[in-house]
Amino acid sequence: MSFTTARRFLLHPYSLALLITGLLFFWMLSSPAQSGLVSTGKEVKAVPLPKVQTTHFIPQQMIKTLSLYGKSEANSRAIVRAEVAGKIIKISTAKGRYVKANKSLVNIEKSELPERLAQAKALLAERELNYKAVKSLNDKGLQGRARLAEMNSLYLAAKTTVKQLKLQLKRTHVVAPFSGILQEQFADKGDYLQVGDPIFSIENTNPIVIRGDATEHHITQLKQGQKVTATLLSGEVITGKLTFIASMADSKSSTFRIEAEFANPSLKIFSGISAKLNIPLYPIDAIYISPSALAMDELGNLGVKLVKEGRVVFKAINLVEADNNGAWLSGFDGPVDIITLGQGFVKSGALVDATASKE
């Protein structure tokens, strides 16, 4: 092609495009075996479906339980105080000891109380005779009513004095108000006590009380007297009953105090230890599953992935309760096949090759 002819093609682009198209068409017809656009006649292999493992679960009835962390405390406690003034002349026990109700703890000096009581009794006898004599005369019309009222008043005053002195004399012998353990000792032999001075503190730990705090969501589901269990730090599980439910929430935490009593005859459960209260609420159908089988959907909802007719289906869960080994889930209409291996690699709606586990 001469320079003049080439120049004409450049000036007429349509002619150039027509030439290039003709050359391409000629090349395709002349080398069909070498063309990448022609089928080689080989079949395209099908992409294998992702493999997953499923486990068959059948919902079973379990009891929804409220778990609360609490502290144990004495069923009752008191500070034993002096009710009369005087010096301690005898201490019959020591702190840390278990004492029964009305057991002697301390003897306080009686001082002049016995003599004062004897004198008061003599005065009472005298005034009783005077009252009876005046009453006899009054019955016969020989004595006025004013004189009888005066003698009666003096007689009752003497009677009251005798009772007061007897009570004071009795109070010099200090006893335990109830059975329990003496925790602290505030006075020693030889100490002079005023009325109201502390001597011992005493706690009754049989039954032992474990207290906890329930939220307003659960407080309406609790009933006084219902059965509860408590798990101690040692792993021991004890059984008791709910004895107190607060009717007013704590102003700071907005929780309600509850208390449960547990028998403690051996006094092995001390006050102040930690424990977990387990309170049954209501029955519910659920399955127990390992946390590793849980999955999340595109929106971040927690659930499980099922296999139905070869396809993955995401099921949002209703968590009933959980522990260190797994979780109880509800909301299933019947038996389900949950993907327990490979659920992290498949999406909802995908076809899968599911194999049932042997468990």
Please state the φ and ψ torsions of residue 120, each to the nearest 5 degrees.
-65, -35
Burial of 9 (C-beta count, 10 Å sphere; 0-12/13-18/19+): middle
320 near 280, Cβ under 8 Å? no
pTM: predicted TM-score of the whole model, two decimal places: 0.65
Q: Which two tokens stand for residue 141?
A: 């019309």
Q: What per-residue confidence (pLDDT) applies to 295?
A: 86
pLDDT tens per residue, the chain (359 residues)?
Answer: 444 555 554 455 555 556 666 666 665 655 544 444 444 555 556 778 888 899 999 999 988 889 999 999 999 999 999 999 999 999 999 999 999 999 999 999 999 999 999 999 999 999 999 999 988 888 888 778 898 899 999 999 999 999 999 999 999 999 999 999 999 999 999 999 999 999 999 999 999 999 999 999 899 999 999 999 999 988 999 999 999 999 999 988 899 999 999 999 999 999 999 999 999 998 999 999 988 888 888 888 888 999 998 899 998 888 888 888 888 898 888 899 999 888 888 888 889 888 888 65
CA dihedral of residues 94, 98, 100, 104 (deg, nearest 10): -10
Could you tell me the CATH superfamily of domain 66-74+202-281?
A: Efflux pump adaptor protein, beta barrel domain (2.40.30.170)
Q: What per-residue confidence (pLDDT) applies to 259?
A: 96
CATH 3.40.50.300 fits 78-200, yes or no: no
Contacts of 57 (CB under 8 A, 6+ apart): 287, 289, 332, 335, 336, 337, 338
Domain definitions of the chain by residue range: 1-34, 52-62+285-356, 66-74+202-281, 78-200
Alpha carbon distances (Å) from 267 to 73, 231, 234, 251, 319: 12, 16, 15, 34, 38
Q: 52-62+285-356 has which CATH code?
A: 2.40.420.20
